[in-house]
Amino acid sequence: MRRDDQQFGLAYLDPSEADDYLARCEGRVLGVIGFGRRATVAHATVWVNIPVLGGHDTCLEVWTSDAPVEPLAYQGIVGASDGKVLFASLSLEQRAGETLEMLAAQSYTSIFEFIERHGYSNLLRVWHYFPQINDNENGVERYRGFNIGRHAAFVAGGRGIGAASVPAASALGSDSGALTIYFMAGKQPGTAVENPRQISAYHYPKLFGPRSPIFARAMSATLGGQPGFLISGTASIVGYETLHRGDAEQQAAETLLNIRTLLQQIPHYNAAQGRLSLKVYLRHAGDLEMVRSKVQAEFGTACVAAYLRSDICRSDLLLEIEGVYFNGAR
């Protein structure tokens, strides 16, 4: 796997690679998130119970800075900052009598307090994982309940719901465990980017729940002195409707078209010189080879991609892809 260990960036590693990589990045590690089977790895603060596909049992998502970092912790949230960007995580177990809506509101209230306390008030990117994402809870799909709680926290925190204030984000189903969230925030704001093929998620009609999802399709931001582009979870959606229900191959093609359309919004995009990393979630593991071949055909073998088995936020979606692009030398 590519190792841009002297730059601000992202690497997907298996445990056999991690110790050496983390040693080279000592003092500059913002965060390590583990997926799949647990392994003993330095700096790993979050584990998500999502199976890893493609021959590995474990995948480590490693974020590093080009500058020294300092640890941060407050009321159950732990992370690190490099003076310009903060990266942190939290996990909340759902106890008897609690709903996911309640946990979402609680977690976002804590996140807003955390980033304001440390002076990184601009939320850039948020990742969410929780089990039974498509199941019913108190008459509402759990993902839709999550959106209600998130919306309530934005309103209570005095944050607007529009292009100037929403982060890039994704929400996926884990096999078990807590509501797990990790996020990136900056001292300077990023610029939200929308897909001209899609309706902004925060403008979805009530067909998709009492409160719309709160995220931008992508976020452009300066990270480590270089232009970065954080792509939200992207799927086979045009306008606000799911296309190609039941057809994973067509959904993969539509999803990649949406990713391509987002990348084309970047003034600095250069496929030959930039660094593109993707995280691909598949509802059915049997679709791996087909989807992987399409990803490689679209972006080439230089694109680093991790593949995970996960339920998607809509029950009629069979895959979702998120990404990170840096316009820096490899």
Which residues form the domain of 46? 9-326
pLDDT tens digit sequence for 228-276: 999 999 999 999 999 999 999 999 999 999 999 999 999 878 877 889 9
Between strands 226-234 and 218-223, the pairing is antiparallel
User: Coil, strand or helix: which one is 117?
Assistant: helix
Q: Which residues pair with 128 in a beta bridge?
A: 171, 181
The full length of the chain comes to 330
Of 32, 8, 50, give the one whose Cα is nearest residue 310.
Answer: 50
Between the alpha carbon of residue 50 and those of residues 31, 34, 36, 56, 80, the distances in Å are 18, 9, 5, 12, 24
* 2 belongs to a structural domain: no
pTM comes to 0.96
* 218 belongs to a structural domain: yes
The half-sphere exposure of 17 on its side-chain side, counting CA atoms within 13 A, is: 14
* 3 belongs to a structural domain: no
Of 66, 35, 157, 67, give the one whose Cα is nearest residue 107.
Answer: 157
Q: Can you give the pLDDT at residue 202?
A: 96
Is 98 in the active site? no
Q: Which residues pair with 64 in a beta bridge?
A: 9, 29
List the CATH number of the domain containing 46. 3.30.1330.40
Q: Can you give the pLDDT at residue 270?
A: 82
- Tell me which of 141, 254, 320, 322 is the catalytic residue: 320
* 4 belongs to a structural domain: no
pLDDT tens sequence for the chain (330 residues): 344 567 899 999 999 999 999 999 999 999 999 999 999 888 877 999 999 999 899 999 999 999 999 999 999 999 999 999 999 999 999 999 999 999 999 999 999 999 999 999 999 999 999 999 999 999 999 999 999 999 999 999 999 999 889 999 999 999 999 999 999 999 999 999 999 999 999 999 998 999 999 999 999 999 999 999 999 999 999 999 999 999 999 999 999 999 999 999 998 788 778 899 999 999 999 999 999 999 999 999 889 999 999 999 999 999 999 999 998 654
Q: For residue 42, what are the contacts with CB-CB under 8 A and spacing of at least 6?
A: 18, 19, 22, 32
Per-residue tokens: 198: 């899609």
Beta carbons of 164 and 208 less than 8 angstroms apart: no
Place of tokens 């995220």: 215
CA–CA dist 234, 246 (Å, integer): 17
Count up the domains in the chain and report the number. Answer: 1
Q: Which residues pair with 326 in a beta bridge?
A: 228, 275
* 154 belongs to a structural domain: yes
Measured at the CA of 85, the angle between CA 231 and CA 80, to 5 degrees, comes to 110
Q: Can you give the pLDDT at residue 4?
A: 52
Sign, Cα dihedral of 240, 159, 94, 63: positive
* 1 belongs to a structural domain: no
Between the alpha carbon of residue 57 and those of residues 10, 15, 40, 234, 274, the distances in Å are 20, 9, 13, 24, 29
